[in-house]
Amino acid sequence: MGVIEAILLTIATAATPLLIAAIGELVVERSGVLNLGVEGMMIMGAVTGFGVALLTGSPWLGMLGGIVVGALFSLLFGFLTLTLVTNQVATGLALTLLGLGLSGMLGESFVGQPGIRLPNLHIPVLSDLPFVGGLIFGQDPIFYVSIALTAGVAWFLFYTHAGLTLRSVGDNHASAHALGINVIGIRYLAVMFGGACAGLAGAYLSVVYTPQWVENMTAGRGWIALALVVFASWRPWRVLAGAYLFGAVTIGQLHAQALGLGIPSQLLSSLPYLATVVVLVLISQNKRLTMVNTPASLGRPFVPDR
């Protein structure tokens, strides 16, 4: 395996959890709900994924466990913000804090245990091709899921009636309600989709990326996913671009540190954040397009008058 191929593979594994979590949050925000609990849902997915894989011996069941727990955890957020109409920002922050604490408690006995890794795809002949074989046909299965998810969400949002309905709820919930659209129901579904994605992204970290359980192992990736959605102006393919850029600079700066260029390591560590923000700000220069894509009802509570 060549150096370049190895670097490209690590970039993909660094970008995949961000991409999955951000695509989930994108759908949530397109429906007009701001869920700041991505980090909490991710870490719950991570601890569940690791635990289920360890106890059952099946990494696939681990991934599934992450998805289910992420969705259930987001349901709590949905119930509080959509049914009880609590403040979305405060509830999202609470969800993150709860997730970090709860996962630490649940995962106490997992610390230091070797995990079970989801094996990479291996297709005879194709995966053995030089260079492209590993990159295109030999990655972990969730990598392919993340790309399909991006394409699927882009298609759903902009080419289906259900996607149009979801966007309309995020644009103007009062009008959507007046048209007879079930605003709350759609938001529940969107929130749960976001939770399932965050759970999957978390399980990816503990079952694929580094198959072990460490407390706080999400390390702020949930927050980066949230930022990616905003800077990508709520467009799925831009989220993908942002996630990969972030992954690339993260891996790049690690190599730069290893080379010992004499640049302070703290500066290098901050590069991925800086580069992602700069590039996404540049591509969202078109104010008009940003305006059209921003869900106008984002974060605003909806109470139907009856």
The burial of 57, by beta-carbon neighbours within 10 Å (0-12 exposed, 13-18 middle, 19 or more buried), is given as exposed
Q: Exactly one of 90, 219, 291, 303 binds another protein (CB under 8 A); which one?
A: 291
**Other CB atoms closer than 10 Å to residue 28's CB: what's the count?**
30
State yes or no: residue 97 binds another protein (CB under 8 A): no
**Min CB(306)–another protein separation in Å:** 5
Closest CA to 162 of 24, 290, 31, 23: 31
State yes or no: residue 283 binds another protein (CB under 8 A): no
Both structure tokens of 191: 């929130």
- C-alpha 165/C-alpha 214 separation (Å) is 40
**Min CB(294)–another protein separation in Å:** 8
**Min CB(233)–another protein separation in Å:** 12
List the x/- string, 229-268, binding to another protein by CB under 8 A: ----------------------------------------
- C-alpha 77/C-alpha 138 separation (Å) is 37
**Other CB atoms closer than 10 Å to residue 67's CB: what's the count?**
22
State yes or no: residue 3 binds another protein (CB under 8 A): no
Nearer to another protein, 100 or 157 (CB): 157
Q: How many residues does the chain have?
A: 306
Quick one: which segment of 60-68, 78-86, 161-169, 269-277 binds another protein (CB under 8 A)? Answer: 161-169
- C-alpha 200/C-alpha 146 separation (Å) is 10
The CA distances from residue 219 to 61, 160, 294, in Å, are: 24, 36, 28
State yes or no: residue 285 binds another protein (CB under 8 A): no
**Min CB(167)–another protein separation in Å:** 7
Identity of residue 50: F
State yes or no: residue 305 binds another protein (CB under 8 A): yes
List the x/- string, 166-195, binding to another protein by CB under 8 A: -xx--xx-xxxxxxxx--------------
Q: In the window 16-75, what residues touch another protein (CB under 8 A)? A: none
The CA distances from residue 224 to 64, 83, 221, in Å, are: 23, 28, 5
Nearer to another protein, 27 or 205 (CB): 27
**Min CB(297)–another protein separation in Å:** 10
Nearer to another protein, 38 or 298 (CB): 298
- C-alpha 306/C-alpha 303 separation (Å) is 9
DSSP string, 207-222: IIIS-S--TTTTTTHH
**Interface size with another protein, residues (CB under 8 A):** 25
Q: Which residues bind another protein (CB under 8 A)?
A: 160-161, 164-165, 167-168, 171-172, 174-181, 287-288, 291-294, 296, 305-306
